[in-house]
Structure 1
Amino acid sequence: MSAQSDAYKAHFRIWRGDADGGGLEDFRVEVNDGEVVLDIIHRLQATQVPDLAVRWNCKAGKCGSCSAEINGRPKLMCMTRMSVFERDETVTVTPMRTFPVVRDLVTDVSFNYAKAREIPSFVPPPGLEPGEYRMRQEDVGRSQEFRKCIECFLCQDTCHVVRDHEENKSAFAGPRFLMRIAELDMHPLDAAPETGLDRKRTAQENHGLGHCNITKCCTEVCPEHIRITDNALIPLKERSVDRKYDPLVWLGSKIRRRNRTD
């Protein structure tokens, strides 16, 4: 059977509005075999609502632009196939709830870029030039998992620490950027400690690591299948606790700090 002959009409509910308010609107729209939710949004733009606002770029699950909530769950529209829904099922598409609405399905995600600027960057090892860095493959592989992030901010959207508590945003970086701190903290070439920068301490005191209660909701929505909680947040929490409460670790940090000042 051809894709065209297998077409059917789906019931979509799309949130429409802006920062001043809005609501869900109902549409009947054609669906063909093999299509994704973003295809349907584009068809709606082409045939019924040309002013429907949506952010997208690659349509290949690599740019992170088309993040939204589909039937209440944070997802990439370009990676959500229509085949996962029953034909008589209503598909509801709304903007990411954690961030302010600009218009329709487009949200203002500048919160995330502000948090990114707060994270101290990689500190190059002294005496080594770019191209001279050497790392064990095991360490490369461990960091590479976190670098698969496409900055879709679905993990930020689903994290209830900021999703349900707007007042936490000033003190909490969110899972995407705590993951960045964890990546740098475990990087064998990062020379931050030699400059006096303690990433574990700043994670706790400046970026809200203690707010995270490891529910793993961020891991569950990650389209790159990064194990954010197990491989980044929990190890960072463990290292932070060791630094603060383990007497040997505490003593060692005091000795190193004294040696730096001598």
Structure 2
Amino acid sequence: MTTAATGYIAKFKVWRGDTEGGALEDFEVEVNEGEVVLDIIHRLQATQAPDLAVRWNCKAGKCGSCSAEINGRPRLLCMTRMSVFTREETITVTPLRAFPIVRDLVTNVGFNYQKAREVPSFVPPQDLGPGEYRMMQEDVNRSQEFRKCIECFLCQDTCHVVRDHEDNKEAFAGPRFLMRVAELDMHPLDDAAEQGLDRKATAQEEHGLGYCNITKCCSEVCPEGIKITDNALIPLKERAVDRKYDPLVWLGNKIMRRGQDT
């Protein structure tokens, strides 16, 4: 095999298989300057493994489709440059471990869409019409950070609560959707509480906030650099604990409920 003047031959191990099982397959493939791992996967499809299944779309780090694990770390194939590896090392590409295999590098991430549907949406204030919403810039910035999420589900994949304990999935929404709950709970225009929806209570009781032990692994793999743990999960935990255990908050809630009953 010949390469360009700036190219070299890299060793790859790529997982091949389906729901019945599979194994790592060895490849030697050309690498050229400036390429990312997705380029190499495409070259494998073009030259050696035309039936290799991989999910991708934008190749610009904005659609989240090409999530996989590279040398055991959840990454986007299109945002992982070949230059971060030495020419001598063997690069292993495997599917997301937390989700069921479909084929090769493609997994069934339907779990995440199920959890998304379980989070009640934004509740608009009843006394404001379209075009009347006003927010402080600080509140806009806070929500904007969380809305950078491209739903690559790398945080869901690396979270050991989901990754290592299949039986937790029913009760635990995972960092991506707890972040969504936190965003809505902090939103100054969300009218959920006034309409009987306590987002802090549902985070704890329905979405499994207590399962999170804030290891920050979700933040470490986020390609958008969202501080999921520090800016969403920890503040949400603090508000949930205040709601349940702070004596002043407890007393205030009792007084408010008594006033509503009279």
* TM-score bin (small chain): over 0.9
User: What amino acid sits opposite 2:244 in the alignment?
Assistant: K
Match of 2:14 in 1: 14
CA contact under 8 A between 1:12 and 1:93: conserved in structure 2?
Answer: yes
Show the counterpart of 1:41: 41
Alignment partner of 1:243: what SS?
Answer: helix
- Pairwise mapping of residues 153-232 of structure 1 onto structure 2 (< 5 A)? 153-232=153-232
Q: Which runs of 5+ in 1 are unaligned?
A: none
Following the alignment from structure 1 to structure 2, what is the Cα–Cα distance between the partners of residues 254 and 52? Answer: 60
Using the alignment, how far apart are the partners of 1:109 and 1:70 within structure 2?
A: 18
2: distance between equivalents of 1:223 and 1:106? Answer: 19
2:88 counterpart SS class? coil
User: Which 10-residue stretch deviates more, 212-221 or 124-133?
Assistant: 124-133
Deviation at 1:162, TM superposition (A): 1.0
**Pairing 1:242–2:207 present:** no
Inter-partner Cα distance in structure 1 for 2:260 and 2:40:
61
Distance (Å, rounded) in 2 between the aligned partners of 1:89 and 1:16: 20
Alpha-carbon distance between aligned partners in 2 of 1:253 and 1:112, rounded to the nearest angstrom? 34
Q: Find runs of 4+ consecutive structure 1 residues off by over 4 angstroms.
A: none
Aligned alpha-carbon RMSD (Å): 1.0
How big is the shift at 1:261? 4.4
**Unpaired runs of at least 5, structure 2:** none
Counterpart of 2:75 in structure 1 is: 75
Instruction: Report the CA distance between 1:143 and its aligned residue.
Output: 0.7
Identical-pair percentage? 80
Query: How many residue pairs get matched?
Result: 260
TM-score by length of 1: 0.97
TM-score (norm 2): 0.97
Q: Return the letter of the residue paired with 2:23.
A: G
Map of 1:149 onto structure 2? 149
Letter in 1 for 2:245: Y
Report the equivalent of 2:5. Answer: 5
Aligned partners of 1:67 and 1:152 also within 8 Å: yes
Residues 4, 33 of structure 1: 8 Å contact kept: no
